[in-house]
Amino acid sequence: MTDNPLLIPFETIHQTAPFHLIREEHYLPAFKEAMKQGKKEINAIISNNDQPTFSNTIEALEESGHILGTISSIFFNLNHAETNETIQKIAREVSPLLTEYSNDIWLNPALFEKVKTVYNSDEKKTLSSERQKLLEDTHKAFVRKGALLEGTVKERYREITKELSTLTLQFGENVLAETNNFKLHITDRKELTGLPDSTLEAASALAKSEEKEGWLFSLQFPSYFPFMKYADNRELRQQMYMAHASRGNNNNERDNKSIIQKIVNLRVEKAKLLGFDTHANFVLEEQMALKPDTVHKFLHELLDASIDFARADVKEVSDFARAEGLNDELQRWDYLYYSEKLKTNKFGLNDEITKPYFQLENVEKGIFSLAKKLYGLSFKLNENIEGYHSEAKAYEVFDEDGSFLSVLYVDYHPRATKQGGAWMTSFREQHHENGNDIRPHISIVCNFTRSTEQQPSLLTFMEVTTFLHEFGHALHGMLSKVTYESLAGTSVYRDFVELPSQIMENWATQREWLQEVGVHYKTGEVIPEELIQKLIDSDNFQSGYAMVRQLSFGLNDMAWHTLSVPFDGDVIEFEKSAIAQTELFAPIENLAVSTAFSHIFDGGYASGYYGYKWAEVLDADAFEAFLENGIYNRETARKFRREILEKGGTRHPMELYKSFRGKEPSIEPLLKRSGLIK
């Protein structure tokens, strides 16, 4: 009997990961043993002399490697949310082994032959729609992962995938290190005029934690963003901006430029081996958009609709800055600062006015209440469920009938051990096992403003919206109601996965919800009607600029991944050319987004970043149904749950969408919501 807690059944509440028992030295032996068990399970499928059937081949393949999947989920989630040098070292060692393990499955000719036999059999016609989908997905996965390759080409494919697994990890490690390595240390209070007391207090606390005098500012979002918004000192804003914008681009041991070149070239080569002109052609075959031309047309349609608005937005800020005394050209490090001042001037609104009404605990309560109103869900904090960090809380989630639905972990605040941004992930996906519905373990990870000695964690309006967004992803995972793990929850097309998250953002500007969630942390006063109206009125403030900024990311992504020949040029110049149509400021030499663009070089969004805007079209159109019937209308919510949230990847996304909405989506609701058409 092993004493490795990762290799034995979890004797915990809801079989959650026993984080209190897992030590770093357990991971590598557990990975190796789990891979050994997984190979035995695959060999049993191959050596089975019975006629290949859906049950003994496709289902058996689906169920294989279950322990390995559990270990991988735990380990790689921690590598993003609670990492250290040891975990990163293990990740670098184990990632090529996992890629090799995966390749041994997908490139196994005997196994593929059995899959083909089932795929071409008469049994296929008798299967349920979900089983047919699993069969089709499995067959296509083999083809897309090299099963048709032979000889030296197959071996080269193995080499490429192993190298990519290492390079993408290194890219992410470099971004995290570059984020953590910069600190702006200020000892003279006069240099910090304009900054709110809450920001100064947080900076003072950070300085004390590192045994320094004065104030310390980092590149983590809750520190960086308010500094850029409020600091009067233009030179310091420029210093912070340049540090943030040059991550992975400092010609040091953490530089990502050569890694980008290697990644994109390997992706080109891999696509060619598989019969595709570009990496984007390969990826988009399994997306709603289907091909790069569709994506380019979509992005340019939005760009044409928004570029004049964006230019007008920047001109408005520039004119305001000049009136405020800026005697120089408006620069990127000026934009947030003067934009925030202009917003205050136009609407009497800024983050410091709204934050007192958005205490984290109240926002959490309000979001849970929204889930109850829409879907009948209830959330119960269970302190006996171990988290991976002292700040990670665990809730039990129950359905309307009282049945257990999911565990939900929440981890809200930045740490040096956590990557930036916000995301939803899972430690266990929903699936059926031996006739039992195995419920999921879902996690929301954020980087929200911390509490201080003087005040609790108070969220900006953007952070409230981010919370709603990630909670939408969590609902997609928690409400999953499928049979097979590979089709569960968020296992859908990348340009569809943002629909459940982005639709939740719409409630952030709904009067009824704001009155519930907005309560002043000191006085208990409900957010005033006047302030709610200002939030609603300002919702489209600088929306043209925001639209074009997002489109620039999508165009940058597509430029890198529609390369059809190896890239040996300058990363900075390539990006500059790719996003030239979206440029709203004078260029800055030797700066690039790409060197810290983790979504596409260390995440799943390569050739898919456009999906955020694609899904915005879906969510704006879908939310019209709630506006038509009432934002808390249970029947509309039930239909969205039944047709979208529960279905996972069991049907094509457009089929699911039309089942909910009764029609294909229109781009007009998005343009209308963004204020780009009347």
Spell out, as residue ranges, where the chain has pLDDT lower than 50.
none
Give span(s): CATH 1.20.1050.40, the chain.
5-148
Number of Cβ within a 10 Å radius of residue 534: 19
Q: Please say whether the beta carbons of 610 and 289 come within 8 A.
A: yes
Strand partners for 519: 358, 526
Burial class of residue 58 (count of CB atoms within 10 Å of its CB; 0-12, 13-18, 19+): buried
Give start and end residues of each alpha helix (H) in 499-570.
Answer: 499-505, 511-517, 529-537, 543-561
CA angle, corner 289, sides to 287 and 295, nearest 5? Answer: 125
Which residue in 442, 405, 448 sits closest to 425, CA to CA?
442
Strand partners for 526: 519
- Integer CA distances (angstroms), 344 to 196, 350, 356, 532, in order: 14, 6, 16, 14
Give span(s): CATH 1.10.1370.10, the chain.
257-349+543-609
Give span(s): CATH 1.10.1370.40, the chain.
356-537+612-673
Q: Please say whether the beta carbons of 516 and 509 come within 8 A.
A: no
The pLDDT of residue 2: 79
- Each residue's pLDDT tens digit, 354-401: 999 999 999 999 999 999 999 999 999 999 999 999 999 999 999 999
Strand partners for 396: 380, 407
Concerning whether 470 is annotated as a catalytic residue, the answer is yes
Pick the CATH number of 257-349+543-609 from 3.40.50.620, 3.40.640.10, 3.40.50.300, 1.10.1370.10: 1.10.1370.10
Pick the CATH number of 5-148 from 1.20.1050.40, 3.40.50.2300, 2.130.10.10, 3.40.50.150: 1.20.1050.40
CATH topology of domain 356-537+612-673: Neurolysin; domain 3 (1.10.1370)
3-state secondary structure 232-274: CCHHHHHHHHHHHHCCCCCCCCCCCHHHHHHHHHHHHHHHHHC
Number of Cβ within a 10 Å radius of residue 577: 12
**How far does CA 446 lie from the centroid of its chain?**
10
CA angle, corner 214, sides to 211 and 216, nearest 5? Answer: 75
The catalytically annotated residue of 82, 470, 624, 646 is: 470
Burial class of residue 203 (count of CB atoms within 10 Å of its CB; 0-12, 13-18, 19+): buried
